[in-house]
Structures are given as C-alpha cells and as structure tokens.
Structure 1
Amino acid sequence: MKWWIGLFMGIVLYSCKTGRVAFNPQKKFSLQQLQADYHLFRNILEERHPSLYWYTSKAVIDSVFDNGYLQLKDSLTEPEFRRVLTKVATQIGCGHTSVRASKKYTKYLDTLKTKDVFPVYVKTWNDTMAVAYNIFKNDSSLVRGALIDSVGGKPVKTVLDSLRSYIPADGGNRTAKDQRLSTGTYFGALYTWIYGWPRDLRFGFRDSTGTSHERLIRPYRPPVDTSRKSHAVSKQQREPRSRRLQEERSLIIDSSGRFATMELNSFSEKLKLRSFFRQSFRKLRRQKIPNLVVDLRSNGGGRVGNSNLFMKYLSNRPFKLADSLYARTRSSAYSRFISNDLALKWFMRLATHKKTDGYFHFTWYEKHYFRPKKKNHYEGLVYLLSGGNSFSATSLVIGGLKAQQNIIVLGEPTGGGAYGNSALLIPDVTLPATKIRFRLPLFRMVRDKHLPKDGQGVQPEILVQPTIEDIRRGRDYKMEKVKEQIRSSEK
C-alpha cells in the first residue's frame, strides 16, 4: 500500500471517530478561559459598538462590565456563562445586541428527542400577568384569563423585573420586553433557563370570580414520535415555500368591500415582497378599497430596502431613512472573531467617510430622499397596528408615517426606539474558548433628531391595551378597535 493511501485512510478513520464524540452540555470551562472570553467580549463592544453609552453613562457601563467580571469566580458551563454575558449586554439598552448559544450547543438542543416544556403561556403588561394558554387542558382552574399573582412564591412584579433584566431592548423599552415574555413559550423558557426547575414551582392565581388558588406546575414532556413520515407529510414538504409566504405576508379584502387587511410579519429579503407589494396595491386600487389595515404587530424588521419600498406606496411626500447614520470605526483589532469582517471593512470604506465629529457617516442615506410611488399609490385611510414586537425597520416605518394625515397608528408603543436604533450591519462575534456568539451592530441610526432620546417606542395615536376579559375571551381587541374606528369614520 502506498504511503499516501494509508495516510488518507487514517485521516478518514480518525475523522469518523472524532465525529462520533458526543457533545457534553455540562462541560465546564476553566476560569482562565471564561476571563479571556469576557475580556474579548468587553473589548470588542468598547471598540465597535456605536451606542454603548447612548442611554447610560460611560461610568455606569464600566461598572456594569466590572460587576459582570466579578461574577466569574470558578469554572462555568456554557449556559451559566451566557447568563452572565446576557445580563451585561442587556444593560447597554440595545435591542440588536444579544448573546446566543454556540453552534454546537444549538445543534445539541435541536437534536434532543425529549424536552421539558413549561406548560403555561402568559400575557403580561404593566406588571400584570395572565394565563394565555395551558398545555394541560384537563386543568380546569388554571385556564386562559386566570390572573397570576405569584410564581415560585415570589410576587409577579418581582419575577417580571428579574426576567426583564435578561431581555435586550432599545433603551430598556418595557413594552418590548413584556411582549417578548408574552410570545409563545418565551416566558417559561427564560424562567427555567435562569432558575431551572425547582422541586416545588407553584403559581398563585385568581379565577374569574376573584377567588385565590395555588397550583403546582410540572413540566410537560411531549411524547416521542417514532412513526415514519407518511406520504402526506412528504407532499407538504414539497409546498412549504408558498404556505410560509402566506403566513408571513397576506392581503385579505373584507367581504363588505369597505376595508382590506394586510398582514406583514417581516421585511425579510426572502419573502418576495417587491412582487407582493406591487400586486397588493394594484388590487387595492382596482377594487377601490377605502380603508387599509396593516398589521405590523409581529414584524420584527428586516431589510431596509423592503421597508422603504413599503413606505413608498403610502407616503405622500419624499422621506429619508434617518437624520444620521454612522459607525465608530471601519476596522477592528479583533477582526478574526467577527464574521465577514473583511467584506464589512471594504464595504464601509466605500460607503462611509469620516466627518468632523470623528465618526464614519453613511452620507448617502443621510442625504437621500426616497420618492413616493406614483403607480398604485394608496390614497385611502390607513391603520397601522403596532406593538412590542414591532421592531427595527418596522419602527422606522411607523415613525416615518405617523404624522401623515390619512394614517392612524393604533395599538401599543413599538418595541423599537422612536429616536433611533443601532443596526444596519449586524455581524456575529464568536468568542474563541466557549464559542458563544453575540450580535454586534455597527451603525447608530438616528431616525428623527428632534425626538427625545429616551429609548421609548413610537407612541400610537390610539392606545389599545388588553384587559383580563379580553384574554379570557381570546379577543383580538386591537383588530376589533380598528373595525370600530372604520365604522365610525363612515357614519
């Protein structure tokens, strides 16, 4: 056997052997590894984050970093270290700066055959928390609309304040944090990630009569599906694209012909929004629909080009993306840890230039005015539904259109900051020892320099918040309010 054939077979066999080594989620990293990754985490944020001291002074942020470092006293697992990093990152007050699991840990979670699931979904607002759904349907007391008073023996307000300290949001936006807690399994996942499953986790709650109860909460473990995939499932797999597109963006014209509802859950580049907008607004014009409801409550943002295109169909005057858009630096001493940093560096060299303030400005966006569409431009009355999940580019849309006379913003404040945010380019950074990742926005965007820099979201003109009765009845109270407004406007 030739030597190179033997070497090749040895490499293949070794690769197969190492590939079978199981991932250990309980692996602990040494204190030295954690400290090295933490120093890198801090150094990169201090070097490149454009809004590190936007809402909090440098002295306070320095103290936050110092206190986080003091939490590292011994070896930790990846989730334990992520909790430290997440709490530090949250205090920056940037909704785009978040800590993520390593790729291997994420893959491990995806391949688990059974996962303990927190069985209760909640809706929370203004320090109020109610049951939105209970997986254990035979539980006749802890039902939708039950008002929760305590979790694990702690008052709801105490629990919510604790959980919010791990949720990144622009300027600490409470509406954004509460909406995250109210989305699907998020509350339970965050609670158990921070506190684990205690032996005795009890909910104190009140039923519809105001009577107090206490219920022991146990995890739900879904049954393992060992059945083979059927022909029907395979057929569905051939058509996921069209169904997914319909779920993410749709236009439905009410049978009365008085209004249409456009559900727009993302401005992602993958949703074929250019053709969707063209066809939808053409249909609205041809059928002379006088009222348009645009549901942006679940729209977390996406591509700025798509959000600008949407605005062109509604805006009655030329508009800018932002008053200012700039980065602190165009290069990094830590480039090898930042994804695609070489390409980003060249892009920024071509697109930005340094001004007297010392920052690198994207002047094209600062100066360019986008003109409204002439063809199929919508002239009717528009209702924009907003909420805590209306984030990033969606906040830019709602903030940019709010002052227009024929546009009414209805719902709750947006999750994204009205004044601006840190975004545009957001590469991942991978810490070398633990492989934990965090998102690093490179540009600070000030949408409207005349607004207060308080981190609050775009405020609706008609505030619509839930009530316990709304939750109990499963009402879409914001959509009902819109329909009421449309009926009133036609009288």
Structure 2
Amino acid sequence: MKNILFTIFALFLLSFSLFAQKSIDDSFSQKKMHKDLKLFRDIREKANSGLYKYRSKNEIDSIYNWAENEIKNSSTYRDFYNIIWKLTDFEGSLHNGLNLPKKVNASVKAEKTGYFPFPVKLIEGKLRMNMDSTQIPLGAEILSINNTPIEKVLPNLHKYYTTDGFNKTGKAIGINGSFSYYYRLHYGKQEQFLVAYKTSNEILTQTIQSVSYKKRRENFIKKRHSLSYDKNSYSDIEKNEFYYFEMLENDIAKLTLNTFAIGGNAQDPIHIRYTEFLDSVFTLLKEKKVNNLIVDIRDNGGGTDPNDLVTYSYLSSRNFMENTEAWISFRKIPYWKHIKGEIAFYKKPILKMLYNKELKKIFPLEKEGKYYEDSTSDDHQVRMPKQNAFTGKVYLMISPRVASAGSLFAAMSASEENTIVVGEETQGGYYGHNGHIPLNYTLSKSKLKMFFSIVNLEQDVPKKDNQPIGSGIMPDYEITQSYQDFIKNEDTQLNYVLEFIEKK
C-alpha cells in the first residue's frame, strides 16, 4: 500500500509558481521571513509525526524562539534559508530536507566564483586535503579558513546533512562530499580563502583563489584522492555492484550489500533475482560449512522493502517483524494547498481524496490523536528465519553512510548474539526513525521546498546497553580509516576484521 501512495504522490513532487527571487544572496524582507516561519512550524506540528521524537516541547519552543530572534538580524534570502535548515536538522530525521526553488538553485549552479576549490575528508577527526595540489599538499590538515578555526567552521555546516536522533558521525558524509558547497551556503561567496594548514609538524598559510560551482564539483568527482576507495558513497552505484559475494579463504566469506534499492516490491523481477542470489549464497555457505561471514553494508544508504527484511531472514535466529509500531499524526493531509504540482487544478481534489483514502487504509486505528497501522499491515507480518540461515560468526561492517532501510537491517543484525559489529556509528537510528511515506511542501513567500517522512516507526529490536536512545547503530569495535591508509587508499576496517578472525 505504501507503494500506491508513492505512485499517487509522484505527480505532486514538483512545484512551479511566479517567484521574483533569483539569487540566494538577494535581500528578503523580515515580514516574509516571519510569515514563512509560522507556516513552516504549523506544517511541522500538524503533519510531522517526528517533531517530538527526540525533542521535548520546551526544546522545540526554544529553537523557534531562537529563529524569531534570528530573523531580527537577517536581511537576505540566504539568512532565512539557513534558519530553516537549522530547524530542519534539529528535529533529528535523516529523511528531512530542504531544496531551493528552481530559479535560485540554477543561479547558484551558474556561479563563476565563490567556492573553496579542493575536496577535503575527515580522517581520524581531522579535516585533510583530499587532493594533491601545488598550493596545499595531499593529506595536509586544514586548521583554519579565513581566520576561523576549522573546529568552529564544521558545526556550522552540519545542518545541511540531516541524521537520525543526535547522531553526528553521519555529518561527515556531508562534509566529505559537499564541504565547498556548504561553506558557500553558510558563509556566502568568497573571492579567496586564507588557509592555515599543517604538514608533519610545520604550520603554513596559503591564500587560495575561489573557483566556480562547476569547477569545485569537477575537482570532487574526478580529482579527489579517495575516489577509488569511496566512489560508492558519493555516486550512483553501478548495477553490478548493488550486491556481490566472494570467498576470501576456506573459512571466510564476504557478502557486500551496497544498496537495498533493488526492485520496487516483492513481485518485482529484480527483487526476485536478488532473493535467488541470497538463497544460493547461504546454501553455499552451509554446504561448505563456512564459519565466518563478513557482511559489508558500509555504503548502504537504504532502499525499498522487503529487500532489507529478506536479507535479515538469512541471518536471524528469531521470528521478527519490520516494526512494532507505526503511526502518523493526522487523518487528512493538512495544508493541502501548499502541496503544489504539475497537475490540472480540477484534478487536485481527486488526488487529495485518493491520498487521504489510502492513508486511512494504511493507518486505520486511532489512539489519542495518533493513527496507527493495525495487525493486517505488512510491517507487522511475522517473518521467520530462512531454513538455511547462517549460524556461524557474522562480522557486520557499518559506517556513517548507513541509513534508512540499511540501518533497519543493521539494527536487526546487530541484535543477534553471533554478530560482531565493526566500523563507525550509522546515521540511521537503532530503535526507530521517521520514514516510509514522504510529504513535500512549498513555503508561500520564499518558495523553499521542505520535505519529511510522516511515519513514526519503532523497529523490532531488543534494548541493548550499548545502543542509547537517539544514537545510530553503535559498533562493538569502533574502527575508522587511519591517516596512513587514507594516503594509500587501503581499507583499515576490512583489514581489522580479517586480523580479528585470524587471531580468533
């Protein structure tokens, strides 16, 4: 049924209207800011079931009071854009987001100057040059930019990459991939950058001229040093790399799952091929009596049901459901007029009726102003372990890139007693998240496009002492890529797992 909603709603994802704003740095009146801020909050309170998932009423009130005061010192469209981003990030959902209207976005992409030219990467907590240059060498630690220490710069950029709960490791994915763009959004266009950096024990400075939006993207996509190591984290994954299996040694196998975006539903031929692949893998593992299985999901940003659940059924030792609870906060979609799209006005009432009707089917139970799925939902279907489910030792490799369906799979797998989790905290939550069904709204005055997922989910996982509420999936062994391995583009985490197995 969730897929039906996606189909119905696909017609409404784009928004078009007359809008004078052309540049993100243009002036924007405080009166318009206040009106859009009120609308933004009204929509979140009515439609977003995750508003208070991690934040108390007092905390939400407090940050909106901050926003009201911030507007008093604001004068540009970019000022307001950054205020809305901070509110969006504060809620704690990786499915939250904000897009610029078409004209403003086009003007940003056409900019000929203003951008920090070099890709960077966080390595062991330090921001390193991720490109060799005659101005600043590969691997140099960036200490400050334009006299602002980097430890003050980075928190200002975190808001542009939302994560579940209070997670911070996932912010590194945004920083590594879009530092230059985020810097421009927060600090404005810069004609040049005074960079203080460190090589070995020497601290140096260099003045760097800015580049165009296009050039900074080209440097990242084609010239970053780590491209061969992290290409699947920052580009579309090739079909032949969606998933694959390899025997490393007689008693060690590795299953790599880079995405769960494998077909649209259980009847999709692509999904069926995937289940056949899984069955052949786990049949082979049983026949060969393999005792050690590495499951690498470090690049898995999610996908569609039931790929995650079917995969877990080959690792599970228990009966399980996708979630124990799922609810939304409204019976009829609120503020419908602010959802605009390419569809004739006379068809909009029909679409609204269909959408609300489908939501009522999916969430029929009302309890204290919330609308829940019932026992007939696919989400609450009890699933059993596969007959050839793996019973040896599982080494689950995770990273901050793991999100959504990827983190659901990681949470369930991490709950198994025979699983050892290695890597870094995921950006997706262990106990739950907001997901499944997105809503997209356009603010009246700024035309900013806000989106969030409306289903508040509690995942079917046990409580664990090392999994605090509001965190991502925490590793049993926290291992990050070392500086030396970054320079050599070697896999610190995989090498650790292989050595761990050998020692055992």
1:358 aligns with 2:369: yes
Q: 2:245 touches 2:281 (CA, 8 Å); kept in 1? A: no
Deviation at 1:132, TM superposition (A): 4.8
**Cα deviations across residues 381-422 of structure 1 (Å, max 9, x unaligned)?**
332211111112222111111132332211011111212111
Distance in 2 of aligned mates of 1:344 and 1:283: 40
Q: 2:193 touches 2:207 (CA, 8 Å); kept in 1? A: yes
- Which letter does structure 2 place at the counterpart of 1:180? G
Moved more, 447-456 or 293-302: 447-456
Distance in 2 of aligned mates of 1:273 and 1:137: 45
Q: 1:294 touches 1:382 (CA, 8 Å); kept in 2? A: yes
Residues 338 and 329 of structure 1: CA distance in aligned 2, closer, same or farther (over 3 Å): same
1:370 aligns with 2:383: yes
**Cα deviations across residues 411-453 of structure 1 (Å, max 9, x unaligned)?**
0111112121111211211223332111122111122474676
Q: TM-score with structure 2 length normalisation? A: 0.78
1:198-213 to 2 correspondences below 5 Å: 198-207=190-199, 209-213=200-204
Distance in 2 of aligned mates of 1:204 and 1:243: 36
Query: Residue in 1 aligned with 2:181?
Result: 189
Instruction: Note the residue ranges of structure 2 that are not aligned, 5 or more in a row.
Output: 1-16, 217-235, 265-269, 341-350
SS at match of 2:438: coil
Deviation at 1:467, TM superposition (A): 3.1
Q: Which has the higher contact order (CA 8 A, sep 6+)?
A: 2
Query: Residue in 1 aligned with 2:333?
Result: 332
Query: Residue in 1 aligned with 2:134?
Result: 138
Q: 2:141 touches 2:198 (CA, 8 Å); kept in 1? A: yes
Query: Residue in 1 aligned with 2:69?
Result: 70
1:93-242 to 2 correspondences below 5 Å: 93-106=92-105, 112=110, 118-124=116-122, 128-134=125-131, 137-139=133-135, 141-144=136-139, 146-182=140-176, 184=177, 186-207=178-199, 209-221=200-212
Residues 53 and 260 of structure 1: CA distance in aligned 2, closer, same or farther (over 3 Å): same
SS at match of 1:124: strand
1:478 aligns with 2:493: yes
Moved more, 391-400 or 447-456: 447-456
Distance in 2 of aligned mates of 1:58 and 1:455: 17
1:291-440 to 2 correspondences below 5 Å: 291-338=292-339, 342-364=353-375, 367-374=380-387, 377-440=389-452
Deviation at 1:223, TM superposition (A): 7.2
- Which letter does structure 2 place at the counterpart of 1:421? H
**Cα deviations across residues 286-313 of structure 1 (Å, max 9, x unaligned)?**
3756243222122222223221122122
Distance in 2 of aligned mates of 1:142 and 1:167: 27
- Which letter does structure 1 place at the counterpart of 2:255? M
- Which letter does structure 2 place at the counterpart of 1:446? E
Q: 1:205 touches 1:214 (CA, 8 Å); kept in 2? A: yes
Distance in 2 of aligned mates of 1:482 and 1:100: 40
Query: Bigger radius of gyration, 1 or 2?
Result: 1
Distance in 1 of aligned mates of 2:105 and 2:211: 21
- Which letter does structure 2 place at the counterpart of 1:48? A
Query: Residue in 2 aligned with 1:232?
Result: none
SS at match of 1:171: coil
**Cα deviations across residues 356-383 of structure 1 (Å, max 9, x unaligned)?**
4432111335643112233x54444332
Q: 1:122 touches 1:129 (CA, 8 Å); kept in 2? A: no
SS at match of 1:425: strand
Q: TM-score with structure 1 length normalisation? A: 0.80
1:40 aligns with 2:39: yes
Residues 259 and 118 of structure 1: CA distance in aligned 2, closer, same or farther (over 3 Å): farther
Q: 2:193 touches 2:208 (CA, 8 Å); kept in 1? A: yes
Query: Residue in 2 aligned with 1:91?
Result: 90
Query: Residue in 2 aligned with 1:236?
Result: none
Distance in 2 of aligned mates of 1:115 and 1:280: 49
Residues 413 and 243 of structure 1: CA distance in aligned 2, closer, same or farther (over 3 Å): closer
Deviation at 1:138, TM superposition (A): 3.5
Alpha carbon RMSD of aligned pairs, Å?
Answer: 3.2
Distance in 1 of aligned mates of 2:368 and 2:463: 19
**Cα deviations across residues 171-192 of structure 1 (Å, max 9, x unaligned)?**
221111233323x3x1221112
Query: Residue in 2 aligned with 1:469?
Result: 484
Q: 1:300 touches 1:393 (CA, 8 Å); kept in 2? A: yes
